[in-house]
Structure 1
Amino acid sequence: MIGRALKGAWAGMRMALAEGQSGFENVDLDALRAGGGFKSHAGQPVTATTAMSISAAWSCVKSNSQLVGSLPLALYEKDRNGKRVKIEDPLAEILTVSPNSDQTAFEFWESQEAQKLLHGNSYAEKLFIGDRLVGLRPLLDTTPVRNADGRFVYRFRDRGKMYTLPASKVFHMRGFGGGDGLGLSAIKHGVQSFGSALAADQTAGTMFKNGMVASGVLKSGQVLDEKQRGQLEKLLDRYTSSAKAGKIMTLEAGLEYQPLQINPEDAQLLETRRFQVEDVCRWFGTPPVVIGHAGQGQTMWGSGVEAIMLAWLTLGINPQLRRNEARIAKDLIPPGKRGRWYVEWNREAMLQMDSKSKGEFLSKMISNGIISRDEGRDKLNMARRGGAADELMAQTAHAPIDDLGGI
């Protein structure tokens, strides 16, 4: 039913959209320029597409956005006693099951987070039937513009045409940002880092293509004329590039091959590429170990890595979740429900322990009466037993003598 409603709402929305509205005198030129790319000092144009061709950038964006998309999300209501109650409502279905006719909730939040990480902002069109919100449709190629009254309007391109939507019909999530109501783009502000990484990748690729250059030189005891040099260049072409590695070259006329150790410039290139992995990680707030890169002298295992992962979840992922929750409360919760309804991502799902630690943790929680045995079984994805297993219990190590008969 929601699928049909979304299609009907989208068809009606298309008829209501108007092209060429005025009030775009203060166009965000940086946002428009991002479509064609920012020029780096290294000579490489940097766009979201070119930046994602860097393996470190791809892994950072993927790791962050997949984690946010995979966390359980629920809609709650506070009762008069301050307790929270999970509620079932069409809004909850939009946020947690099916935001639109094409995407699951995982795919929607994953894609929104990826856009926010790269561009600093992500956009989705609010689909309505009357005054009722029935879906969220991602918007790409979108430019926010402030009108003369200070409010945002959003211009976006869809199937070759430009459309305009008011702020009331756009769910706009901001990343880390400035004071102008927009998140800051990692692509724009990190253009030099990404451009250098792209240039280093290109240089490394050229080195591998022309493998003969870095491997050694040919020496001759005589001076070669122009014709002989041309013949030698054609000969060398048969053996250069990584695809021809391992072929045996026959040398004559006094030619001698002398292998070379890697020169300082090439050694510096390798060190530069290693540094750029860590540099790209800084822009996305992702520890290198998360994307499979260990620093000098660092292992990929142990308590140190566990502490790094906890720091990432606390300082990196949790602020993103809080930002998203606040934006949902401001823009998607019905006005009459604000202050009582709220959404929350389950942070506990980020914390995974080994079997020994998890067993000790659950044992202490159950023994101290903090959770029931059935709630502990829930955390192990086991079926509930019901009855006394759903009661809070506690072990008693010390008790008054007069109470022993009742225990």
Structure 2
Amino acid sequence: MILDFFRQGSAEPAVAPEQKASATGRVMAWHGSGRVAWSPRDTVTLTRTGFAGNPVGFRCVKMIAEAAAALPLVLQDCERRFSEHPLLDLVKAPNPAQGRAELFEALYGQLLLTGNAYVEAVGAGIGVPLELHVLRSDRMSVVPGADGWPIAYEYAVSGRKHRFDVSEGNPVVCHVKSFHPQDDHYGLSPLQAAAQAVDVHNSASRWSKALLDNAARPSGAIVYRGAEGQGSLTNDQYERLVSEMETHHQGARNAGRPMLLEGGLDWKPMGFSPSDMEFQKTKESAAREIALAFGVPPMLLGIPGDATFSNYQEANRAFYRLTVLPLATRVAASVATWLAGFSGEKLELRPDLDQVPALAAERDTLWSRVAKAEFLSDDEKRDLLGLPALTEEDLDG
């Protein structure tokens, strides 16, 4: 007889009154309702479960945001590259509390987590603004006009709202958003696409934690083989057995402790079922899906089973080329166009590819190939390399 310690046994089983019951009732009672429970898809919940509560999502966002924010930026127009400019000074020190890396890391983080990023210009008038601040995306809402275009942005904090009017002049708020095919005003976050994988990964982690709490092995059964005529334990024997199990054989402190059975008791361990063995593979598959949604090679996250790249260096180069650089280039271009609207200049702000260590081999190959192209002029070569043409001052110098 197998004992269930969650129910108290009795020496003499009670006689149940006669009643009608379904023949399949016992079978159906062992199954759940079959209803899948997914976490909510709002911004706050996704940030909590996919970033603050998931190591894969956390690491993906941190890797992309930190790598993109660390890229050196160059400012140039159609004629020259600037080494000194008020806009460069603003980007280098955007506000008293943040530097360039901190501001852009917050900007990229908001864009990755919510699909939207907002930058406020403080002291905007004629010329370059005095300060730049990144606003939380979950607090911002777009106010569309009659034609569908935004006329204002509302920022809500503690029940109070501040309205940024963008209907006239250069807007004081720069809205950078990811592509969303079904929304005209808000972007689509990678966490939205990876939401199901995040739920699976978190559920698998909770299952592993519960398994560790049970001495890292499945439960077993204590079988009672009493004397003839004695088919079950008495109440006192049952209470004593439960007490000894809770005191001496449960929890991580008692993991692996031998069990001493007496009085006709026998321990029957239960092995892992095939579904239990698949939990780790399911967790690794969910982790790869999360990394795929963010564009991070699983090899860089230490996820086993990924053989897309032959080595770590190749994976790191693909990470910069396919994920970091497109994101940084698009965001820098949006911010530069927005800031140039205050001064009226036509400026371009973009990452300096010559100072990216992960792309050093590619840049060396490109420079060598362009230098050997004798049919190209110097200006054409500089244009291929993303450099402005030389001015007369540069040629005279």
* TM-score (norm. length: structure 1): 0.69
Q: Does 1:240 align with 2:236?
A: no
* Aligned-pair Cα RMSD in Å: 3.4
Q: Distance in 2 between matches of 1:347 and 1:363?
A: 12
Q: Distance in 2 between matches of 1:226 and 1:283?
A: 58
Q: Distance in 2 between matches of 1:217 and 1:316?
A: 52
Residue matched to 1:255: 265
Residue matched to 1:311: 318
Q: Distance in 2 between matches of 1:337 and 1:90?
A: 13
Residue matched to 2:65: 65
Give the conservation status (yes or no) of the 8 Å contact 1:219–1:257.
yes
Give the conservation status (yes or no) of the 8 Å contact 1:143–1:154.
yes
* Higher mean C-alpha deviation, range 121-130 or range 55-64: 121-130
Where 1:214 maps in the other structure, the secondary structure is: coil
Residue matched to 2:126: 131
Q: Distance in 1 between matches of 2:367 and 2:297?
A: 32
Give the conservation status (yes or no) of the 8 Å contact 2:124–2:342.
no
CA change 1:164–1:235 in 2 (3 A) is farther
CA change 1:87–1:159 in 2 (3 A) is farther
Residue matched to 1:401: none
CA change 1:130–1:108 in 2 (3 A) is same
CA change 1:363–1:176 in 2 (3 A) is closer
Offset, 1:326: 2.5
Q: Does 1:89 align with 2:85?
A: yes
Residue 177 (structure 1) aligned to one of 180, 196, 201: 180
Q: Does 1:326 align with 2:323?
A: no
Offset, 1:272: 1.0
AA in 2 matched with 1:331? W
Give the conservation status (yes or no) of the 8 Å contact 1:220–1:254.
yes
Q: Does 1:205 align with 2:209?
A: yes
Give the conservation status (yes or no) of the 8 Å contact 2:284–2:303.
no
Q: Does 1:277 align with 2:277?
A: no
Residue matched to 2:108: 113
Q: Does 1:148 align with 2:145?
A: yes
Offset, 1:314: 2.0
Q: Does 1:187 align with 2:194?
A: no
Q: Distance in 2 between matches of 1:134 and 1:49?
A: 34
Q: Which has the higher contact order (CA 8 A, sep 6+)?
A: 2
Residue matched to 2:78: 78
Q: Does 1:288 align with 2:288?
A: no
Q: Distance in 2 between matches of 1:335 and 1:161?
A: 29
Give the conservation status (yes or no) of the 8 Å contact 1:42–1:196.
no
CA change 1:362–1:123 in 2 (3 A) is closer
CA change 1:267–1:303 in 2 (3 A) is closer
Q: Which runs of 5+ in 2 are unaligned?
A: 1-34, 375-397
Residue matched to 1:377: none
Offset, 1:98: 1.4
Offset, 1:182: 2.5
Residue matched to 2:225: 221
Q: Distance in 2 between matches of 1:255 and 1:123?
A: 67
AA in 2 matched with 1:314? R
Offset, 1:277: 0.8
Q: Distance in 1 between matches of 2:126 and 2:233?
A: 85
* TM-score (norm. length: structure 2): 0.70
Residue matched to 1:392: none
Residue matched to 2:378: none
Residue matched to 1:346: 352
AA in 2 matched with 1:163? H
CA change 1:305–1:242 in 2 (3 A) is same
Cα offsets for 1:145-187 (capped at 9, x unmatched): 2323333222223355322223412121112333614310233
Offset, 1:303: 4.3
Offset, 1:113: 0.7
Give the conservation status (yes or no) of the 8 Å contact 2:143–2:154.
no
Calculate percent identity across the aligned residue pairs: 24
CA change 1:145–1:166 in 2 (3 A) is same
Where 2:218 maps in the other structure, the secondary structure is: helix
